[in-house]
A and B are shown apart, each in its own frame.
Chain A
Amino acid sequence: MSLEITDENAGDVLVVSPAGRIDSRTAADFEAHVIGAIEGGALHLLFDFGRVNYISSAGLRVLLMAAKRLKGKSGKYAICAMSDPIRQVFEIGGFAKVVPIKGNRDEALSAW
């Protein structure tokens, strides 16, 4: 199983949609993609997790790195459309404090 990542622009917001598993094997691809976007100037990042079926601590680490890089800049970031098991992983890991969690993509974007 691989990880495919799609980028879309919604106004100023870059919507990053991974599809598949973000685990010990694929986290490096996710990291390169996300850090590349930030280094390319993206300031507003919405992670749409609607097609992520699994995340491990390797994936959480990438989100933490992104949060650290964006903090102090003028932009913001959030994550939306998580399944219940993935939300549980976020809660156990204390990641609700790190990345704001939104409902679906439209809700996240309309409140941006």
Chain B
Amino acid sequence: MSNNTLTLTLRNDLEDLSRALEEIEAFGESNDWPMNWLFNTNLALDELISNVIKYGYDDESPHEIAITLTRHGERLTVTLTDDGIAYDPFTEAPQPDTDADVDDKPIGGLGVHLVKTLMDEARYERVGGVNRFTLVQDAKA
């Protein structure tokens, strides 16, 4: 039986984020997860975690970020927790104007927009002093 859960933690730096994403990709490939799950999960985690690393802490101390991926049949659920400042990007990030041309195109909020669009569900909660993100993808027929 294939292994359907992966849990990992990383430090709040971009090098460690890169290592974690490689580990997730290797795990998904070895368990034959759909390629679009891997691409979309990689993108969503890169967007959300890089924001947390850049803007989420008001001190210089090291912090830990935890990721769990669980497959139930045709559904992949990814949870992400961090102990950064409370921030819900899904409601608080600016909505980008994706119709704008070169001169007017804003860049803020684009990553969050990609995450919301690529995921079937993207939720945020503040629980027990941590930010918790839940990302759900269903396998496409």
Contacts and interface: CB of A to CB of B under 8 A. Distances in A.
Interface of A: 1, 23-25, 54, 56-58, 60-61, 64, 67-68, 71, 85, 88-89, 92-94, 97-98
Contacts of A68: 102-103
Give the bracket for the number of chain B residues in contact with chain A: 20 to 34
Given A71-B103, A98-B101, A54 B42 contact: yes
Nearest to B18: A25
Contacts of B53: 24
Nearest to A66: B102
A57 B117 contact: no
Nearest to A83: B39
B92 interface: no
A71 B17 contact: no
Interface string B94-118: 0011111111010100110110011
Contacts of B83: none
B18 A93 contact: no
A3 B15 CA distance: 13
Main secondary structure of the interface of B (DSSP, over half): helix
Contacts of B47: 24, 56-57
Main secondary structure of the interface of A (DSSP, over half): helix
Given A1-B22, A92-B118, A97 B107 contact: no
B89 to A, nearest CB: 12
Contact of A98 (B18, B102, B117): B102
24 contacts: A23-B21, A23-B50, A24-B14, A24-B53, A25-B18, A56-B46, A56-B50, A57-B111, A57-B114, A58-B46, A58-B50, A60-B107, A64-B102, A68-B103, A71-B102, A85-B39, A88-B118, A92-B117, A92-B118, A94-B98, A94-B99, A94-B100, A94-B105, A97-B100
Contact of A54 (B15, B43, B113): B43
Interface of B: 14-15, 17-18, 21-22, 35-36, 39, 42-43, 46-47, 49-50, 53, 96-103, 105, 107, 110-111, 113-114, 117-118
A24 B50 contact: yes
A94 B96 contact: yes
A97 B46 CA distance: 24
